[in-house]
Amino acid sequence: QRRNMAVMFITHDFGVVAEIADRVVVLQHGKLVEQGDADSVLLRPQHPYTQTLLAAVPTMDPPVRQPLDDRRKAVEVISLNKTYVTANGWFRPARRVEAAKNVSFSIRQGETLGLVGESGSGKSSVARLVMQLIKADGGSIRLGDTDLTLLRDRALRNQRKRIQMVFQDPFASLNPRRQVGRIIADGPIAHGEAPDQALQRARDLLQMVGLDAGAIERYPHEFSGGQRQRIGIARALALNPEILVADEAVSALDVSVQAQVLKLLEDLKSRLGLSMLFITHDLRVAAQICDRIAVMQRGQIVELKPAAALFAAPEHPYTRELLAAVPGRKTA
């Protein structure tokens, strides 16, 4: 406004579009299928593709979910602490960042716990701590009777297969030089499974996530972003884990593909009895997939309650700020 500039803003986030756009252009397969002022396109879409995209935007209303208090705890995180210290520079002192400060939560069998917060709140650090990709300064992570923080080397590798991660970027998380079948089978083979058996399991998993079993001989670049994320999910399932850690697993996908992947995760969780730690900054997504939600601010959990209760009656000021800041909420 100060410089009287024009802006062309490219995004798949319709909440952001609703907040900032004067006019909207919708593209499908490189073709312009609809354009007009923001209110007309968002509130009265004419083209079927626009209608499909808008229908796929997750709402802020969590579905009714059954409490799981009677289920056993699949994972329990107790008083987890992690501080990063940057080295001294020539002109600046060392900097300390508390990524996790006395973080505690549990996830029951078949439950999805959402971990939400703004960038830098510590969400991804907690995910990596739970996965034991980085070591905690203190606290414990228990899978049943096993404390992962006490294990080393082979003992840790044997237990780590019980908890697997689906990464944020479906383009960067798959080795472009390896066939999809080998990408999925590598984990089981590393744990001693026969290659032929692991590849057959890869075929089965591809079908389970909605892809053709014949895709095992293709390479990642031959798939779309949503298909690659399905491959990433198949890879995570290859070791028969009890818990999935999904770190911003749908943030790189457009809303229609995002909805498909969320539905797939829900179906797999129910079918396989999985528990899930779902890391996201998108409260709309959290509302749709999470049974309970933990809100993180500066390395601490400031509020944790069932999703419906959190959206209906947030107690902490930071939670209320997050909910008020969801793009496009006023037009939803």
Indicate the pTM of the whole model.
0.89
User: Is residue 84 within a helix (H) or strand (E), and if so which, with residue range?
Assistant: strand 73-86
pLDDT band at residue 89, thresholds of 50, 70 and 90?
A: low
Percent of the chain surpassing pLDDT 90: 70
Strand partners, 161: none
pLDDT tens digits, residue range 307-320? 999 999 999 999 99
Would you tell me which CATH number, out of the four given (3.30.2320.50, 3.40.50.300, 3.30.1540.10, 3.20.20.70), belongs to the domain 73-162+241-331? 3.40.50.300
Task: Give φ, ψ of 80 to 5 degrees.
Answer: -80, 135
Rounded Cα gap, residues 103 and 75, in angstroms: 13
Contact 275, 72 (CB under 8 A): no
Q: Which residue has the higher pLDDT, 305 or 90?
A: 305
The domain limits of the chain are 14-56, 73-162+241-331
* Statement: residue 332 has pLDDT above 60: no
